[in-house]
Amino acid sequence: MGSNTSWINRIVAAGITIVMFSVPVWSQDARLQDLYRDLADSGPKQAIGIERDIRHEWSRTGSPAIDLLLRRGRDALERGEIEAAFEHLSAATDHAPNVAQAWHLRAQAFFAQDRLGLALSDLERALALDPNHFQAAFGLAAILEQLDRPEQAARAYALVLRLHPHYDKAREALDRLEARTGDQTL
């Protein structure tokens, strides 16, 4: 049990460090970067459309085959067909290891299978590729909360809110953690 906890601690620490302190050295679509900037500065009503545009950009890889795998994986997740989702998304990560959304979606499949260590690993990869991927950061926070690591979860939820100030689920989760711990400074 101790070595398993240690392994998870290293993944979590590395993931948070990468996201919070990395310098953007990756080549990412300029449109997506502009959308992230707009989202961080938007009001609640504008955020809805900007988030929709970001999600659209996440699903556009430049490869019709990878786009199809992402769509099939996402659709299978929505239908609760976890094994099918895992197969499509694993193919996407194998053939396009630089696509953050493929890693994020596969982390969701691992999470649905209660394979939290593998989900954390995929989220770490997604966030290393795209530190502004607020959904991957939210997934990291949710797993940390499930693992009863409220301080780390709170930091990850705060990161989500820095990236997407109007992400209501992250705000609610952070409020819930603060109420649970009685600590308003989490």
Tens digit of each residue's pLDDT (9 = 90 or more) over 44-103: 999 999 999 999 999 999 999 999 999 999 999 999 999 999 999 999 999 999 999 999
Degrees to nearest 5, angle at CA 143 with 137 and 146: 145
Q: Nearest-CA neighbor of 127 among 5, 8, 31, 13?
A: 13
Q: Nearest-CA neighbor of 15 among 145, 115, 159?
A: 159
- The pLDDT of residue 29 is 78
Can you tell me the mean pLDDT for 113-129? 97
3-state secondary structure of 60: coil
| Domains in the chain: boundaries | 35-181
| pLDDT at residue 21 greater than cutoff 50 | no
* 114 token code pair: 């209660």
Cα gap 100→47, rounded to integer Å: 21
Cα gap 58→181, rounded to integer Å: 35
Cα gap 154→140, rounded to integer Å: 11
Cα gap 137→15, rounded to integer Å: 9
* 76 token code pair: 């299978």
Taking a C-beta distance cutoff of 8 angstroms, is the pair 122, 103 a contact?
Answer: yes
- The pLDDT of residue 22 is 39
- The pLDDT of residue 25 is 33
Please state the CATH superfamily assignment of the domain spanning residues 35-181 in this structure. Tetratricopeptide repeat domain (1.25.40.10)
Q: Nearest-CA neighbor of 15 among 167, 162, 155, 185?
A: 155
Model pLDDT for residues 126-183, shown as the tens digit of each residue: 999 999 999 999 999 999 999 999 999 999 999 999 999 999 999 999 999 988 877 6
Cβ burial of 163 (10 Å; 0-12, 13-18, 19+) is buried
Tokens 């094994």 found at: 83
Tokens 């982390």 found at: 107
